[in-house]
Amino acid sequence: RVVVSLRDPVSRLISGFQRRMEGGDTTKPANARLAQAFATPDAFVAALLEPRDPLHREALENAYGWTNQNYLVPVEEFYLNLERVEDANATRGDVVEVLYACLERLEADLEAIRTRWRRPAAAASAPPPAPHT
């Protein structure tokens, strides 16, 4: 069973791009290539969308090549790629149920998933202890 949280795709792309560039960390080859070719998320997306853009091939390679940006990989491929599954008992014949929880309505979606999978409700958290005086 897999629960995937969903975000606004534009926000996800921008934060993924910014994370790669965070602190100028271009020590990783994929980050260095991204930083060298694209100054902004807009430049990256523009090159990705326009086949005639001189950086189109670089954008495609950066997005989907062997050093791909995981924030662009389709959700189910990223989470259900069996090479990434850590469960040694998982096989290609296994049935996987994927349910989605949208961040804008996270609590309601998680409650619906809990109910569907017949999981017990979480124990109520205790109030914080009174401060010492």
> Is the pLDDT at 67 greater than 60, yes or no?
yes
Residue 120, classified by CB atoms within 10 Å of its CB into exposed (0-12), middle (13-18) or buried (19+), is: exposed
| Distance separating alpha carbons of residues 3 and 20, to the nearest angstrom | 25
> Is the pLDDT at 84 greater than 60, yes or no?
no
Full-model pTM:
0.57
User: pLDDT tens digit string along 24-48?
Assistant: 666 778 788 888 899 999 999 999 8
Look at residue 98 in the predicted model and tell me its pLDDT: 72
Please state, rounded to an integer, the average pLDDT across all residues of the chain.
76
- Other beta carbons within 10 angstroms of residue 68's beta carbon come to 15
* Residue of 120 and 53 predicted with greater confidence: 53
